[in-house]
Amino acid sequence: MQAAAPAETAIREALTAWTRQFNAGDADAVCGLFAPDLRYDYRGYPERGFGEICALLQRSLRDRTKTYSYSLQINEIIVAGDLAVVRLVWRLKIAPAGGAPVTGGAPITVSEEPGMDIFRKQPDGSWKIIRYIAYEN
């Protein structure tokens, strides 16, 4: 088996680190995966940018009435120069704070979000998402 290219490894590590940060509730770190010129399209919502996704993620992680956790499935990484495309599936679990729902309380919800992230290598050598398209199954 051929070793992964350095860019593919860096992108995989960036996604994995972001997943850990999100699941740890690190609201200050969750914006770091995205480039300032981010544009994203999530089915059913208007196209948005860095400021909107950053605020949404931070607001969600600071909401003490719910807990959020992501798991990640990377299906493919294609690198071409300073751009890369990642086909992936995010699974988001949202539960009431404290774990299991109380009788009559909010249920645990799980959504599956297939998508495609486009990364660009940044001047500092890091890889950040500049575009993404996702939808919920």
Q: CA 79 to CA 61: how far, in whole Å?
A: 31
Please, are residues 26 and 62 in contact by the beta-carbon 8 Å criterion? no
Phi, psi angles (nearest 5°) of residue 45: -125, 155
Say yes or no to pLDDT of 112 above 50.
Answer: yes
Say yes or no to pLDDT of 99 above 80.
Answer: no
Question: What pLDDT, in 10s, does the model give residues 46-80?
Answer: 999 999 999 999 999 999 999 999 999 999 999 99
Q: CA 22 to CA 38: how far, in whole Å?
A: 18
- Give the residue extent of every domain in the chain: 6-134
Question: Domain spanning 6-134 has what CATH number?
Answer: 3.10.450.50
Q: CA 53 to CA 41: how far, in whole Å?
A: 11
**Could you give the 3-state DSSP secondary structure of residue 4?**
coil
